[in-house]
Structure 1
């Protein structure tokens, strides 16, 4: 019986996703976002810059974040003067805002705000 329980736990662990999806209303250290090419990354804060981490491999700091928004279009965001400055990657005018709308690794739509050194997330 004990061996069967351990085997079941091992199977469940293998079936679990590689990332934990945040809970709506929670403040998290990193958000699982989708890049413009559809790659799964996470972003956390390093001062007023982002630290990007791919699903596997080494991460890197950057002053901007290129991400997919709810409608699948690609945008870039910088943290400027206490808010995000969003610019469409296809060209055109950008705008400041306190929120960032992104899609996670599973295509789920989220809104986030900065919360100190973390992200306050709300599921759409």
Structure 2
């Protein structure tokens, strides 16, 4: 009987160790994977504030449009003020622009030796 319990305990420990090892090898955020399968939808973000850094290009810009169409209040920041204004005006053309949108130009500075 004890041999069976010990064997079952070792099997459980081995399974847990294998699971932890596999999860550590994921090339993504585990919490994001879980939320994408079982979490809330984008509609749950309606009315909340989200700050998008790098909103003036590529993925940041695409995220701005997705969140704007779902009614999220946005703070847009990036390094190109003209491009940020274009993104903001495009959001206005969707008819989804909340008056609480902020657009900021950010300059990131490295302090110290490169």
Do both proteins adopt the same fold according to a TM-score greater than 0.5, normalized to the shorter chain? no
Q: Which structure features the higher share of strand residues?
A: 1
Going by fraction, where is helix more abundant, 1 or 2?
Answer: 2
Q: Which of the pair has the greater relative contact order for Cα pairs under 8 Å at 6+ separation?
A: 1
Q: What's the TM-score once normalised by structure 2's chain length?
A: 0.31
